[in-house]
Amino acid sequence: MALHLPSPRNTSPSMTLRPFFWRKLQNGLVQTFSIIALALAIGAMLWILGTIFSRGGEVLSWDFLTNSSKPYGVPGNGIANALLGTLMITVTAAVIAIPIALAAGIGLSEFAKQSRFANLMRFCINVMMGIPSILIGLFVYMLWVVPQKSFSGFAGALALAILMIPVITRTTEDMLRMVSDHLREAALALGCSRWEMIVQVVCKSARNGLVSGILLAVARVAGETAPLLFTALFADTWPRDFFTHPTANIPVLITETTTNSPFEAMHQVGWGAALVITLIVLIINIVAKTCFREQKR
Amino acid sequence: MKRIAFLDTTFRNVCLICAGVCGVLTLTLFLQLASASGEAWQTFGWGFLISTEWDPVTNVYGALPAIVGTLLTTGLALFIALSLAFVCALQIVDAPPVLSKILSYGIDLLAAIPSVIYGMWGLFILCPLLQEAFWLLEIDTNGFGLLAASLILALMILPYICAVMRDVLKMTPVLLKEAAMGAGCTTWECARDILLRHGAKELLGGVFIGLGRALGETMAVLFVVGNVIEIPGSLLEGCTTIAATLANNFAEADGLQQSVLFALGLILLLMAFGIQILAHCYLRKTAQKKGA
């Protein structure tokens, strides 16, 4: 064994044996630790999902999905209004954010390129992506809720849109830059005008990447809670007045039923809602990652 | 031809204006928070940053407990997540391709779970578990506090850090690894002395990402941190973070307290901004070195 480590410093056999033993032991310990770490990470993921599925599965039923939410004690509690509200808020946010962000991505990758302006904007996008989402909630509160004198679903949608814009802009720019310049030159040589070239050739060839970027951004904001606390707030009613009144939504419903209520029945509603929102987010994620994956080059 | 030229310039201008939107938003956010928090700065001055008092009845506020809570939870979470993420990434890179794909997909799933779900899981599962575990050790605690918040945060930022580390470790030239093995390194020595040194710069990028995420996380922390506006004396005591304080108090606040909360928001924004600046300068420096 000692032959493994012929060290010039220690020549006695006992001294050459020990370091190797310690090194092996250390290696073994780290290997064990890393397997435990991996098991912890995967185990926690399974544990969280398992809890959500088992506890949420108990309450999930057709009635639960079609009844509106009610205060404690009223029978027939459900989450339909919150589900509809979340849908309206997320879709409105996407409608606001996607055109702006796509145009911004095109502008950065096709027009501004390496100019000073572009680099400054890239820095701003990085900063925006690092801003805690709750601050965006404060921002929209001052910008929209205070002047309008009312919490509203639209304010929530604005907050989510602001969260989405930098994410989509960044992926759009990255995806467009991956398109080879030969395609651009070929399109121009065929007589396309510049905007035809960009929309019909460059964007089309980067389509999968763009769609998956948008879907991932939507999935990311669909489960966001913090920015909705000061904007959309919550209501037990159906979202009839999207622009002028607080609008029900799933993330805030979960917060309301779990932290602000001591009753087991309300917690159950929370678990059901948690299952629904997790399913929605995971499904969008999986669709984005499998159906619209960029082909490996 | 004229129409085409017109379309082209319009398209170009619209795109460039949209590209400017992020810049405008960032600037307005800073100005907005600064102006809305003006009253708080005027009343308390710089002492606001180091005062520990928080009394809505007498309208005296200090930011120190929230700042310390934020730094402590973030620091602890980062420490836990970093050590786990590095060894996880090592295993994933070394595993056979199929297993490695499944494992990285599983860890990516952690990133997809909404933060409010983490909070709920922490509230109903993790905190009672901690309470019982410490009860066995005859330590009386309700489970909520610094430790629970850091654990949940660590779990949340682990996938982001792990993803970056995975990519970096995959990029390491095989030759380097083989040379290390050939010289008689154990797997761990190869990782520590070769992979870690070779990718140190890119690995630090992963640290910045995790740092930014942990700093501003609201919901998950809000559920488990205990929400006591005091500097925690031990791992098991309740505390608060800036984001949790905002979420807890903003709805009922008005006048001076609201202004104080905006001031806290400004502090948080400056912290996040500072991290971005650091990351930016750092990346620039490494890019220059690589170019040379």
Q: What is the pLDDT of residues B128-169, one digit of tens each?
A: 999 899 888 888 788 888 999 999 999 999 999 999 999 888
CB-CB neighbours of A191 under 10 Å: 8
Q: What is the pLDDT of residue A294?
A: 58
What would the mean pLDDT of A216-225 be, rounded to a whole number? 91
Dihedral angle, C-alpha A171, A173, A174, A178, nearest 10 °: 130
Burial (0-12, 13-18, 19+ Cβ within 10 Å), A149? exposed
pLDDT at B170 over 50: yes
- Determine phi and psi for B141, rounding to 5 degrees: -155, 155
What would the mean pLDDT of B161-187 be, rounded to a whole number? 88
Q: Would you place residue B120 in the very low, low, confident or very high pLDDT band (cuts 50, 70, 90)?
A: very high
More confident residue, A14 or A192: A192
Q: What is the pLDDT of residue B289?
A: 64
pLDDT at A296 over 80: no
Q: Which among B29, B120, B275 has CB closest to A254?
A: B120
Handedness of CA B156, A165, A161, B266 (dihedral sign): positive
Q: Do A169 and B22 touch (CB under 8 A)?
A: yes
Q: Which amino acid is at A10?
A: N
pLDDT at B239 over 70: yes
Q: Do B215 and A132 touch (CB under 8 A)?
A: yes
Q: Would you place residue A72 in the very low, low, confident or very high pLDDT band (cuts 50, 70, 90)?
A: confident
User: Is A95 a member of any domain?
Assistant: yes
Q: Do A41 and B110 touch (CB under 8 A)?
A: yes
Collapsed DSSP state (helix, strand, coil) of residue B54: strand
Give the separation between CA A149 and CA A151, rounded to whole angstroms: 7
A274/B contact by beta carbon, under 8 A: yes
pLDDT at A5 over 70: no
**Nearest chain B alpha carbon to A282:** B112
Name all domains of chain B by residue range, CATH numbers in brackets.
37-291 (1.10.3720.10)
Chain B environment of A34 (Cβ under 8 Å):
87-88, 90-91
Instruction: State pLDDT tens for residues B190-229.
Output: 888 888 888 887 888 788 888 888 888 888 899 998 888 8
pLDDT at A230 over 50: yes
The total domain count for chain A is: 1
pLDDT at A189 over 50: yes
What would the mean pLDDT of A83-107 be, rounded to a whole number? 94
CB-CB neighbours of B3 under 10 Å: 8
CB B87 within 8 A of CB A30: yes
Residue keyed to tokens 């489970």: B143
Q: Do B218 and A34 touch (CB under 8 A)?
A: no
H helix runs in chain A, sequence order: 13-59, 62-66, 80-106, 116-130, 133-140, 146-148, 153-178, 181-189, 194-196, 203-205, 207-222, 226-229, 250-259, 264-290
A108/B contact by beta carbon, under 8 A: yes
Q: Which of A115-119, A241-245, A258-262 has the lowest mean pLDDT?
A: A258-262
**How does DSSP classify residue B252?**
G
Q: What is the pLDDT of residue A1?
A: 42
User: Is A51 a member of any domain?
Assistant: no
Instruction: State pLDDT tens for residues B39-96.
Output: 889 888 888 888 888 888 888 888 899 999 999 999 999 999 999 999 999 889 888 8
Instruction: Please state, for a pLDDT cut of 70, what percent of chain B lies above it.
Output: 98
H helix runs in chain B, sequence order: 2-36, 38-44, 64-94, 97-112, 115-121, 127-136, 146-171, 174-182, 187-189, 196-198, 200-216, 219-224, 242-249, 255-291
* Residues in chain B, total: 292
Give the separation between CA B225 and CA B127, rounded to whole angstroms: 10
Collapsed DSSP state (helix, strand, coil) of residue B109: helix
CB B269 within 8 A of CB A135: yes
Give the separation between CA B194 and CA B175, rounded to whole angstroms: 11
CB-CB neighbours of B190 under 10 Å: 21
Q: What is the pLDDT of residue B156?
A: 92
Instruction: State pLDDT tens for residues A18-59.
Output: 677 888 898 999 999 999 999 999 999 999 999 999 999 988
**How does DSSP classify residue B55?**
E
Q: What is the pLDDT of residue A53?
A: 94
User: Is A132 a member of any domain?
Assistant: yes
pLDDT at B241 over 70: yes
User: Is A23 a member of any domain?
Assistant: no
pLDDT at A172 over 60: yes
**Nearest chain B alpha carbon to A289:** B105
Burial (0-12, 13-18, 19+ Cβ within 10 Å), A274? buried
Q: Would you place residue B255 in the very low, low, confident or very high pLDDT band (cuts 50, 70, 90)?
A: confident
User: Is A42 a member of any domain?
Assistant: no
Q: Which among A51, A166, A267 has CB closest to B121?
A: A51
- Interfacial A residues in 66-85 facing B (CB < 8 Å): none
Give the separation between CA A25 and CA A31, rounded to whole angstroms: 10
Q: What is the pLDDT of residue A50?
A: 94
User: Is A118 a member of any domain?
Assistant: yes
Q: Would you place residue A295 in the very low, low, confident or very high pLDDT band (cuts 50, 70, 90)?
A: low
Determine the structural domain holding residue A145 and report its residue range.
81-290
Handedness of CA B93, B94, B96, B102 (dihedral sign): negative
Q: Which of B124, B172, B174 is nearest to B152 (CA)?
A: B124
User: Is A163 a member of any domain?
Assistant: yes
Q: What is the pLDDT of residue A17?
A: 54
User: CATH number for the domain including A126?
Assistant: 1.10.3720.10
Residues with Cβ within 8 Å of B42's Cβ and at least 6 positions away in sequence, in order, are none
Q: What is the pLDDT of residue A2?
A: 44
User: Is A280 a member of any domain?
Assistant: yes
Give the separation between CA A21 and CA A258, rounded to whole angstroms: 53
